[in-house]
């Protein structure tokens, strides 16, 4: 009379995090998503005819973090699907193309409309195509960076410059999402110099100041 201990179920917790990617056409929303989920970067541009949806499961010790990432086609004809992407999202990532400053201007409108559906989501401002940006006129870089920071202030959102093509700051976007969502203290160093792939999250977005971290004791129940 003994139990077959192999049958002991292991309970995995799931944290589901919906992330919406929003921004002008061709700033690289889908690429960012695909890159993050499948680590594939395709040079070919594919227009998003509606909303793209991908899930990524990050498997941790006792927990699965499931990012369900939705990206809305940047063309205006799809903007009536905006609620689908923004509602219920834990974080809304506003993307702009670092090489096309007008896409940053559009963020204002995107931000307004997305907030209209979800004013509790963490917003994150992401500049894409850093690999191209980095070779551009430093003045231009400085201007864009500066304006982006101002935007980030207004939106109270972390600011990240990323390059999907060169794998820069892609993972960090989603780590910042989790850190902000669960109020974790992120220790990843920030990049604040013009010319660097900016990563500014400590002073933006909902967070507590660096109060002592919650003491975490781990009395794992038998499993």
Partner 1 sequence: MSIRPNMLHDVGETSFEDVESTFTYKDDLEVPRLAPNSAASTTTENTTFSKDKRYSSHTELASEIEDDINYNSDFEEYQNGRDLPLAVDRRFRESSDQDELADLQEQLEEKLSLNLRDHKTAAGSKNKFSQYSSAGLSRPSLKDAVRQRRSMIDLATRRKGTGSIGNLNGQQSRQVPNSRSYMNLRPNAGRTLSYKSSMPSLMRFNHQDLLLEDDDNEDEDDDEVEDEDDEPYPYVPKIKRSYRDLVPRFTEKDKKVSAGDDFTYVAAEMDDDDNFNDDFEGVDDGFQFAENITHNKVPAFDTELHLSPSEYDIEHDDSLLTPQLHRKHFAVDVPFDSYREALHNHESSKQAAVVAAAANSRRSSKRVRARLKTIRQEIDLNTPMKRGKMKYNPREKRWDGNEDILRSFDNIENVDRRAFIIKNKRSRSPLKGSSSNQALGSGATAATSNSQHGKIVGKMKFDEQNLRWLRVDGAEEDPFQGITDLPPRSQSSPTKNVKFQTRDHPGNSLRSQSQLPFIRDDHGNRFISSESTRFHSLTTNPSTDPTYHITSKQLEKFYHEENKWSRKIGSWFILGDKSRDTGSADQSHTNLNDRSYMYEIRNMVISSARN
Partner 2 sequence: MSCVSSVSSKRSRYDDSNIFEDVHDVSMQTPVKNCSKRHQKWSLSIATPATTPVGKSDGKRKTRSLDEDLISSPLKFKGDSNVLDVEFQELSLQKVLVSLSASDAASSPVFHIPELLHRIFSSLDHESLNHCSMVNPIWSAVASRIINKDLVVQQSSISGDLKIVELDDKVHPKTLTFYKLKNHKNFVENQLPRINLLRLDSLKFYISPIIPAVLNKAAVSNNLTKLTIAGNKNITDQEMVYLIMGLPNLIELDLRACSQISDVSIVSIVKHCPKLQSINLGRHENSHLITDLSIMALSELENLTTLGISGCDKISDVSIWQLYNKHSTRMVRLSINGCTQITDNSISDIVANNGFPNLTVLDIRNCALVRFKKLIRYRDWRSKYLTKPIHIHISDSMKEEFELQQQQLYKEFRTRIMNDLNKWVNEES
Does the footprint of partner 2 cover residue 186 (CB under 8 A)?
A: yes
Residue 21's H or E segment, with its range, is: strand 13-23
Does the footprint of partner 2 cover residue 209 (CB under 8 A)?
A: no
| Torsion angle defined by CA atoms of residues 38, 40, 46 and 47, in that order, rounded to the nearest 10 degrees | 40
Q: Say which entry of partner 2, partner 1, none residue 185 contacts (CB below 5 to 8 A, set by partner kind).
A: partner 2
Does the footprint of partner 2 cover residue 147 (CB under 8 A)?
A: no
Does the footprint of partner 2 cover residue 211 (CB under 8 A)?
A: no
Does the footprint of partner 2 cover residue 76 (CB under 8 A)?
A: no
Exposed e or buried b for every residue in 160-169, given b needs 16+ CB within 10 A? bbbbbbeebb
Does the footprint of partner 1 cover residue 120 (CB under 8 A)?
A: yes
Does the footprint of partner 1 cover residue 171 (CB under 8 A)?
A: yes
- What is the biggest distance separating any 2 CA atoms in the chain, rounded to whole angstroms? 77
Residues 187-206 that bind partner 2 (CB under 8 A): 187-188
Instruction: Figure out which of the listed residues 2, 54, 179, 186 binds partner 1, where binding follows CB under 8 A.
Output: 54
Shortest Å distance, C-beta 29 to partner 1: 12
Residue with tokens 């998503």: 33
Q: Say which entry of partner 1, partner 2, none residue 189 contacts (CB below 5 to 8 A, set by partner kind).
A: none
Q: What are phi and psi of 117, to 5 degrees?
A: -95, -25
- Calpha distance 69→86 (Å, rounded): 11
Q: Say which entry of partner 1, partner 2, none residue 1 contacts (CB below 5 to 8 A, set by partner kind).
A: partner 2
Question: How far apart, in Å, are the Cα atoms of 16 and each of 39, 55, 105, 112?
Answer: 20, 10, 31, 25
**Measured from the CB atom, is 76 or 189 closer to partner 2?**
189
């Amino acid at each position: 009379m003994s139990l077959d201990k192999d049958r002991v179920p292991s309970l995995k917790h799931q944290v589901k995090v919906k992330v919406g990617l929003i921004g002008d056409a061709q700033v690289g929303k889908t690429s960012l998503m695909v890159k993050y989920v499948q680590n594939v970067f395709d040079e070919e541009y594919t227009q998003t005819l509606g909303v793209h949806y991908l899930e990524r499961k990050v498997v941790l010790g006792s927990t699965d973090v499931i990012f369900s990432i939705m990206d809305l086609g940047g063309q205006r004809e799809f903007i009536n699907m905006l609620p689908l992407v923004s509602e219920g999202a834990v974080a809304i990532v506003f993307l702009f193309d670092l090489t096309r400053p007008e896409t940053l201007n559009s963020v204002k409108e995107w931000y307004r409309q997305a907030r209209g559906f979800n004013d509790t989501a963490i917003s994150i401002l992401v500049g894409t195509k850093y690999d191209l940006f980095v070779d551009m006129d430093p003045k231009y870089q400085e201007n864009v960076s500066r304006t982006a920071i101002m935007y980030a202030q207004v939106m109270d959102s972390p600011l990240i410059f990323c390059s999907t093509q060169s794998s820069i700051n892609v993972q960090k976007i989603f780590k910042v999402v989790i850190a902000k969502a669960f109020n974790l203290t992120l220790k990843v160093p920030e990049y604040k110099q013009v010319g660097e792939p900016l990563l500014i999250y400590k002073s933006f977005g909902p967070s507590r100041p660096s109060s002592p971290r919650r003491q975490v004791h781990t009395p794992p129940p038998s499993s």
